Amino acid sequence: MKNITMLIDGQLVVATATFPVINPATGEAFAQAAAGNAAHVDAAVDAAKRAFSGWSKTPDAERQRLLHALGAALEAHMPELMELVTLETGKPLAGLNGVGAGMEVGGSIAWTHVTADLTLPVEVLQDNAEARVEIHRKPLGVVGSITPWNWPLMIAIWHVIPALRAGNTVVIKPSELSPVATARFVELANAILPPGVLNLVTGAAGSDVGPAMASHPGIAKIVFTGSTATGRKIMAAGAGNLKRLTLELGGNDAGIVLPDVDVKAVAPKLFGVTFHNNGQTCACLKRLYVHASIYEEMCAELARIAASTVVGDGLLPETQLGPIQNAMQLAKVEELAADARASGGRFLCGGKRRAGPGYFYEPTIVADLSDGSRLVDEEPFGPLLPVIKYSDVDEVIARANRSLNGLGGSIWSTDLVRAAELAQRLECGTAWVNEHGAVQPDAPFGGVKQSGIGVEFGSHGLAEYTSIQTLKIMKS
C-alpha cells in the first residue's frame, strides 16, 4: 500500500488522518493519502509567500534551467510515473491510438520543456526624445492550482510549469481520486526547486482544502480544471481579494461530418477522438452530427470499431480502453444510457457495465437521438457517443452552437476551404478540421461561454500568470 504525504516548504507533512485511493480496475484501494485541512493550506501559502521573494528575483535563465532539469527528472522516472497514472486513473499504459499513460507522461515532459523556453519580453511602446514607455510582465505571487482526476499529471504540469516560469510560487491540490502521480511529481520537483516554491496539500472528498484555497487572501490566482459548477463556486469564493482566474471547465464538443467524407477512412479517427481515455477528456468529441446521406454507414462502421475494441486492465499491454475512473462517474454513465433508451435511442453496441470487479463499461454507440435528449445535451464524460442525423449544414451549425458550453468543435470534410469557413462559425475556443481535441504547448487553449475563462499554453497562457506594469520614463 502506497502512502501519500503532503509536501510543504520542502518538507514531507503527515496528516493525522488518511483517505483511500482506489484503483478503478479493481475497485480496491492501492494507496492511502494524507487528509489535509485548511490549516495545511495556511501553512502552504505562508511557505509559498516566503519563497516568492527569492524565486521571483531569480534570474530568468536560472529559472529556465531548473524547469528543464525538472523535465529531465520526469523523463528519468517515466516508467514509474506511467504505472502510477494507470493505477489511479485506469487509463492504459499505451491506450487507444497511443493515448494512454505513456502519452500523459510524455506530454508532461514535452510541455515542461516547451514552457521553460517561453519568454515574455519587455514591450516598448514609445522611445523618443520625450519619453520611453515600456510594458513589463510581473509575477502575481502565490498561485493556487486545483486539478481534476482524469489527466492528473498532465494537467498539474499545465498549471504549475507556466506559473513557475513566470516567477510565481504554487500551492497545488490534486483531486482526491487521483493524487498519487501528482504527489510524486511534486516530490521530484522539490529535489530541484528551492523550498516553498511548489507545495502540495491533499484533501479527502468534502474537505475544506479546496474552499480554503479558493477564498485564501494570500493566493493571488487560482487555476482550475474541472466542472462548470465547481468553477462557479471558485469564482464566488475568490471575489474577496479579486483573485485572477484561469478556469478550464466542462465541454460538450460537437463534431460535424459533411457528406463528402470517406466513411471507412474517417470513422477510426472519429472513434479515437471520442473514446480515448474512455471519453473522460474535456475536449473529447461528445456529440457527432452526421449527414443523412452517410448516416447509417457511419453508425455501422463506428459500431464495428467499438465492438472490436479491447477493454481491460490498463496494465495489460493489449488493453485499449480501461475502466471509468470512479464509481460516481460510472453511475452517471449508466443513468445517461438508461435515459437514452427511454428516449428512443438505438443502441448499436455496448450499453452496459461489464461483469466483474472494477468500473468497466462497454464502448457504446447510440443512434436516432436528437437535441433535447440528455445524452446529447449533457456531457457524458464516459464511453457513450450519440450519433445525430442532420440534412442542412446551416441548421446543424446552429444546433451545435445551441449548447451552453463552448470548449471545442470540429468539421470533417475533404473540402478544407469550406470546412475551415464552417469551423470558424462554431462558438468554441478551439475549432479543428479533420481532427478533434489535439492540443499543443505553443497554441492557446480555453473555452468560451460556460466552458471557462482565460487560456492555457504558449505565450498567451504564460501571460495569464502575470500582471502588466507600464513604465513611463520622461526624458525631458
pLDDT at 418: 98
**Per the domain annotation, does 442 fall within a domain?**
no
**Per-residue cell: 23:** 484503483
Catalytic residue among 282, 284, 299, 428: 282
Per the structure, the count of domains in the chain is: 2
Q: Residue 201: name the closest of 222, 186, 216, 218 by CA.
A: 186
Residues 35 and 182 occupy one common structural domain:
yes
The parts of the chain modelled with pLDDT lower than 50 are none
261 and 186 in a single domain? The answer is no
**In a shared domain, residues 467 and 406:** no
Answer yes or no: are the C-beta atoms of 212 and 190 closer than 8 Å: no
From the list 88, 104, 176, 248, the catalytic residue is 248
Q: Are residues 426 and 291 in the same domain?
A: yes
Contact yes or no for 267/295 (Cβ under 8 A): no
Asked if residue 90 belongs to a domain, the reply is yes
Q: Are residues 127 and 265 in the same domain?
A: no
Decide: helix, strand or coil at residue 230: helix
Q: Are residues 417 and 457 in the same domain?
A: no
Do 455 and 406 share a structural domain? Answer: no
pLDDT of residue 476: 83
In a domain, 439, yes or no: no
Q: Which domain holds residue 349?
A: 253-433
Task: Kindly report the length of the chain.
Answer: 476
Containing H/E element for 222? strand 221-225
Instruction: Give the CATH number for residue 143.
Output: 3.40.605.10
Residues 463, 404: one domain? no
Give the domain CATH number at 265: 3.40.309.10
Does one domain contain both 238 and 260? Answer: no
pLDDT of residue 271: 98
Rounded Cα distance, 413 and 423, in Å: 11
Residue 180's H or E segment, with its range, is: helix 180-190
**Residue 82 cell numbers, joined:** 506511467
Sign of CA dihedral 31, 32, 35, 36: negative
Residue 22 contacts residue 29 (beta carbons within 8 Å): yes
SS3 327: helix
Q: Is 282 an active-site residue? A: yes
Distance CA 235, CA 102 (A): 34
Q: For the stretch 172-201, what's the b/e string if a residue is b when 16 or more beta carbons lie within 10 angstroms of its beta carbon?
A: bbbbbbbbbbbbbbbbbbbebbebbbbbbb
CB-count exposure of residue 56 (10 Å: 0-12, 13-18, 19+): middle
End-to-end CA distance of the chain: 70
Residue 257 and residue 245 in one domain: no
DSSP-derived letter for residue 353 is B
Regarding whether 257 and 244 lie in a shared domain, the answer is no
